[in-house]
Amino acid sequence: MKPTLSSPPDTLAVLAFGAHPDDIEFGCGGVIAQETLIGRPAHFVVCSRGEAGTHGQPEQRVAEARRAATLLGATIEFVEFDGDSHLEVRAAHAITLAGVLRRVRPGIVLAPSPAENQHPDHSRLGRLVCDAARLACFGGLRELTPSPPHRISHLLFYAVTREAEPDNISPVLIDISRPEIVAAWVAAMEAHSSQTSARNYIEVQLARARLYGLGAAMEYATALFPANPLVFNSLSGLGRGGRGA
Ligand SMILES: [Zn+2]
């Protein structure tokens, strides 16, 4: 049997999309903290300033998001589409996001679940990112020239709430139990003080992570939902099986 070459280290950035300034932190902030701690670059793209929210002014919410991204070791940019609560699934938006993918050239992309949930912008952005991941590969798309095509390695959905978890995809559980990871995640959520004063959203997220963790012999876990089947080189790369939460 011929020896196989080992793969180059996986150092491509993780790119996370959020419809609102706090979605990424609440949906998958622990996963981001874990990745940046091991040296992977992370970049956030937020598609509104949260201007339709009941609490907090847009300027405050943008500032909170910038602070939270810094706490997680990530960079951040804002993309203006149709405004908070007005996001539409349009080819032009998908092409704009494909342009971001070609510029950042990430390996793993995180996006809100396309399952219908408490905010229509979440599922619509999930669908737009799906389309963008495909469009980023198309070499003849004139709006995206001259930046070269880019194929991401994985699109994984995160769920901001329990209701957003797609019931037709088995989750991948990411172990975020290390105390420094949990602390960074909580700090990033706390940075959104305009949102956390009304309800204890942080406790809700920690409880979800705890429940997933307990179900699979971990302290805390974040459930991510792969858009496509995951491919492994052999059975030995599978990791261990959770018992199911
Ligand atoms: Zn949101």
* Centre of ligand 1 from the C-alpha of residue 64, in Å: 14
* Centre of ligand 1 from the C-alpha of residue 206, in Å: 17
Question: What are 119-147's pLDDT values in tens digits?
Answer: 999 999 999 999 999 999 998 899 998 89
What pLDDT is attached to residue 198?
65
* Centre of ligand 1 from the C-alpha of residue 20, in Å: 5
* Centre of ligand 1 from the C-alpha of residue 27, in Å: 9
Could you give the 3-state DSSP secondary structure of residue 123?
Answer: helix
This prediction has a pTM of: 0.93
In the 8-state DSSP scheme, what is residue 143?
G
* Centre of ligand 1 from the C-alpha of residue 200, in Å: 15
Average the pLDDT over 3-29 and give the result: 81
What pLDDT is attached to residue 4?
38
* Centre of ligand 1 from the C-alpha of residue 232, in Å: 33
What pLDDT is attached to residue 245?
47
* Centre of ligand 1 from the C-alpha of residue 112, in Å: 9
Distance CA 245, CA 227 (A): 20
* Centre of ligand 1 from the C-alpha of residue 217, in Å: 30
- Print burial letters for 98-113: b (CB count within 10 Å at least 16), e (below 16): bbbbbebbbebbbbbb
pLDDT band, very low/low/confident/very high, at 244 (cuts 50, 70, 90): low
Cis peptide, bond prior to residue 226, ω within 30 of zero: no
* Centre of ligand 1 from the C-alpha of residue 157, in Å: 14
Distance CA 52, CA 180 (A): 33
Question: What are 42-73's pLDDT values in tens digits?
Answer: 999 999 998 888 787 889 999 999 999 999 99
Question: What are 181-209's pLDDT values in tens digits?
Answer: 999 999 999 999 988 876 688 999 999 99
Could you give the 3-state DSSP secondary structure of residue 158?
Answer: strand
